[in-house]
Amino acid sequence: MTTHDSFWTDLRGCEYSQGYLQAGDIRTRYLHAGNNSLPPLILLHGVGGHAETYTRNLQSHAEHFDTYSIDMVGHGYSSKPDYDYEVDAYVEHLRSVIDTLGFDRIYLSGESLGGWVAARFALKYPQRLERMVLNTCGGATLNPEVMQRITSLTMAAVSEPTWATVKARLEWLMADPATVTDDLVACRQAIYQQPGMLEAMSRIMCLQETEIRQRNNLTDTEWSAIETKTLVLWTDKDPTAAVTVGEKIANLIPNAKFALMTACGHWPQFEDPSTFNRIHLDFLRGLN
């Protein structure tokens, strides 16, 4: 697998922009590629993440979609209001982003927490979605060991955002730790060094608390009520949940397909972008 030393390597062939929009009371940062003659696609990162989760995917997707990768509320360089971020807070932030951009219906893809948010959005606002991808998504498990690992690694990285602590947090996501580039570490380190980030991360981590996670998880009945055409994309080395979890989600959603990527952990879109981009685009474009 080829690694890249810089985000510029990923984006050099792509016309893109960074910007901010006002989504309700949330100043929201985004990366954008594509143009408004194409159908809109929004990409959602995982817990503690940011828009750069998708730097290796923007160019290929911009050929077919008006593509936005956003910093969700509390994350990245978006606003960090003073309340716990349960899943509906992210859902309503996403709705506000879509409204601000003037989109009636979108294509939606979320990784980890982003997939959890996408699933909840599909239940609450099915009329706003064309197709959806759930990429190693949350919302279906309650594993105390995984929850504790996410919390300890993340809070260590934000409490003392050294090169080593931030790199350790990122390496846990990957099947091959060497996938973590210096550029990625530096990007996240700068985000974690922001004033107020420690307090925001404490509110983000509420979903790793058992009682809060239980009430935010989707029940089997709720998974089965999702109407949107869905791709459930999983990996064989995901540190958060076994392949059987993804298979169960795909079996519960009536209009779902399942795809498995190998030799990847929790960030297949970054670890193996060529395979991810092919599978992802084929589904979103209705080619499979």
Alpha-carbon distance 187 to 179, whole Å? Answer: 15
Q: What is the pLDDT of residues 164-202, one digit of tens each?
A: 999 999 999 999 999 999 999 999 999 999 999 999 999
Alpha helices per DSSP H over the chain: 7-11, 58-62, 87-101, 113-124, 144-159, 163-171, 182-192, 197-204, 210-216, 220-224, 243-252, 268-271, 273-284
Which of 170, 189, 188 lies closest to 180, judged by CA?
A: 170
Q: What is the pLDDT of residues 218-238, one digit of tens each?
A: 999 999 999 999 999 999 999
What are the angstrom distances between the C-alpha of 267 and each of 91, 146, 202? 21, 16, 23
Q: Which residues contact 242 (CB under 8 A, 6 or more apart)?
A: none
Q: What is the pLDDT of residues 14-51, one digit of tens each?
A: 899 999 999 999 999 999 999 999 999 999 999 999 99
Query: 14-139+220-284: which CATH architecture?
Result: 3-Layer(aba) Sandwich (3.40)
Alpha-carbon distance 128 to 288, whole Å? Answer: 22
Q: Is the pLDDT of residue 2 over 80?
A: no
**Residue with token string 């408004």:** 36
Alpha-carbon distance 189 to 158, whole Å? Answer: 8
Could you tell me the pLDDT band of residue 8, with boundaries at 50, 70 and 90? confident
CB 278 within 8 A of CB 186: no
Could you tell me the pLDDT band of residue 12, with boundaries at 50, 70 and 90? confident
